[in-house]
């Protein structure tokens, strides 16, 4: 039997994670970002927060007129908020009830915290054998450092990224943002959660997804581990330069701006030499090969900088594009807002929120052509969905809810 047009349209609008319920017990960025990715693609995410206090993320960063931060509004989009004190026995008991109809639980407490409250994996899996539990912590659930607290800055340092950020004659600097590891851990946590959920669908057995905050940082450091193991190489800070290839850096322009040029092979450098009006630079006796350019790295970068310094950024971008040389502007956030590529791709989502007013946030990534994710709402008010969670889902009476509120359990 063929579906009706109305049914077909409904199916087309249905997002990939429709019907999946996630309990978000986490705070700050890594766990909340993980669950935001689920929520964007249709999962029902219930954000569990401490009564009267809420997630500290609500107060992290620029505060909006509603009292919640821009980070909260963005990274807790599409979620429902329910208050619950997991530290109290009655609160833990309510969570165990909620777990029975949940598919995924996400938490990022220090290892052992949930166990102390009677909510460890051994307890929750008895309530729901198919449950997937995503656990993000500073150093993971095992190892000699498992009990140490961890934040993004620490993970960037411990993971090996901070050592590489900056110039060789200066101290290490923050690699872009201290929260890089938090967001990456959220991505890997979401990936692990979906993989474990796929396994549970076929085996009826849930499992724990264990992510140490530093591990995604270490995972993305290309050949760093292999080069040390094989050659004993300890990569040092190189400023904007890139190991193994040159020119592959940031270069100044005549209008006091900067561009990024990335010549990752010999053909690209030959095209750059043509663009510079100096094709001889790519000949055999000069810098035709990566090895030759690497040996004369300082001189190669100097010649490219001399060329870029004579032209405006827009001229260089057009000239490099015409010669098929990978080149891009080094943007500040105001330039991102003005860029036509960002506008065409709708990378910035402009929303009008009842509580916070006009808000601009990064749009959904990745982009699915058939069943795309979307942003339905920004981060909710504390406890906004208590009635839904406790009355609709758990069937608690008004009297019971009143008693729980009086005891500050919800």
pLDDT of residue 11: 47
Q: What is the pLDDT of residue 308?
A: 98
> How many residues are given for the chain?
410
The token pair that represents 404 in the structure block: 């729980």
**Which residues belong to the active site?**
182
Both tokens of 208, joined, read: 């724990």
Whether 6 shows a pLDDT value over 50: the answer reads: no
pLDDT band of residue 65 (cuts 50, 70, 90) is very high
Summary mean pLDDT of the chain:
96
Which pLDDT band holds residue 145 (cuts at 50, 70, 90)? very high
* Strand partners for 272: none
Contact partners, residue 124, CB within 8 Å, separation at least 6: 96, 99, 105, 131, 133
Confidence band for 7, pLDDT divided at 50, 70 and 90 = very low
Structural domains of the chain, ranges and CATH numbers in brackets: 5-219+349-406 (3.40.50.10540), 248-252+258-329 (3.30.1540.10)
At 131, is the pLDDT very low, low, confident or very high (cuts 50, 70, 90)? very high
Res 8: pLDDT = 39
Q: Residue 379 and residue 47: Cα distance in Å, rounded?
A: 10
Question: Over the stretch 250-292, which tens digit does the pLDDT of each residue have?
Answer: 999 999 999 999 999 999 999 999 999 999 999 999 999 999 9
* Assigned token pair, 211: 């992510």
All residues at 6 or more sequence positions from 400 whose CB lies less than 8 Å from its CB, including other chains:
none
Whether the per-residue pLDDT at 5 is higher than 50: the answer is: no
Over residues 186-208, the mean pLDDT reads 98
The token pair that represents 252 in the structure block = 């100044």
Q: What is the pLDDT of residue 198?
A: 98
Mean pLDDT of all residues in 29-52: 98
**pLDDT for residue 64 is more than 60:** yes
Q: What is the pLDDT of residues 285-340, one digit of tens each?
A: 999 999 999 999 999 999 999 999 999 999 999 999 999 999 999 999 999 999 99
Q: At what angle are helices 180-203 and 30-40 packed, to 10 degrees?
A: 50
Number of neighbouring beta carbons within 10 Å of residue 153: 17
Task: Report the pLDDT value the prediction gives residue 363, as an integer from 0 to 100.
Answer: 98
Tell me: cis bond preceding 30? Omega within 30 of 0 counts.
no
pLDDT value of position 240: 96
Residue 9: pLDDT band (50, 70, 90) is: very low
């Amino acid at each position: 039997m063929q579906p009706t047009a109305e049914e077909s349209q409904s199916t087309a609008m249905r997002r990939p994670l429709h019907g999946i319920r996630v309990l978000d017990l986490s705070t700050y960025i890594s766990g909340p970002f993980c669950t935001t990715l689920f929520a964007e693609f249709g999962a029902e995410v219930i954000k569990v927060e401490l009564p009267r206090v809420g997630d500290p993320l609500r107060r992290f960063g620029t505060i909006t007129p509603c009292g919640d931060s821009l980070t909260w509004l963005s990274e807790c989009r599409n979620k429902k908020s329910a208050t619950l004190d997991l530290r109290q026995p009655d609160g833990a008991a309510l969570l165990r009830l909620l777990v029975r109809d949940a598919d995924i639980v996400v938490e990022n407490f220090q290892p052992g915290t949930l166990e102390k409250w009677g909510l460890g994996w051994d307890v929750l899996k008895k309530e729901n054998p198919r449950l997937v539990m995503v656990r993000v912590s500073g150093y993971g659930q095992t190892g000699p450092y498992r009990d140490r607290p961890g934040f993004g800055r620490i993970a960037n340092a411990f993971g090996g990224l901070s050592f590489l950020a900056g110039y060789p004659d200066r101290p290490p600097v923050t690699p872009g943002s201290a929260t890089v590891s938090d967001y990456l851990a959220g991505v890997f946590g979401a990936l692990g959660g979906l993989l474990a959920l796929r396994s549970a669908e076929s085996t009826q057995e849930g499992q724990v997804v264990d992510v140490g905050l530093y591990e995604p940082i270490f995972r993305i450091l290309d050949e760093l581990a292999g080069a040390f193991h094989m050659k004993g190489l300890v990569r040092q800070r190189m400023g904007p330069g890139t190991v193994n290839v040159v020119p592959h850096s940031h270069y100044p322009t005549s209008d006091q701006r900067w561009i990024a040029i990335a010549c990752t092979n010999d053909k690209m450098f030959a095209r750059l030499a043509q663009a510079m009006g100096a094709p001889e630079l790519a000949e055999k006796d000069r810098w035709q090969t990566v090895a030759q350019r690497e040996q004369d790295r300082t001189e190669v970068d100097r010649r490219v900088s001399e060329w870029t310094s004579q032209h405006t950024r827009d001229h260089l971008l057009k000239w490099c594009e015409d010669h098929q040389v990978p080149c891009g502007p080094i943007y500040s956030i105001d330039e991102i807002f003005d860029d036509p590529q960002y506008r065409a791709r709708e990378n910035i989502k402009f929303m009008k929120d009842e509580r916070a007013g006009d808000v601009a946030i990064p749009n959904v990534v990745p982009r699915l052509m058939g069943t795309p994710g979307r942003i339905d709402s920004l981060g909710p008010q504390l406890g906004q969905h208590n009635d839904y969670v406790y009355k609709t889902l758990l069937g608690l009476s008004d009297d019971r809810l009143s008693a729980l509120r009086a005891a500050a359990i919800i």
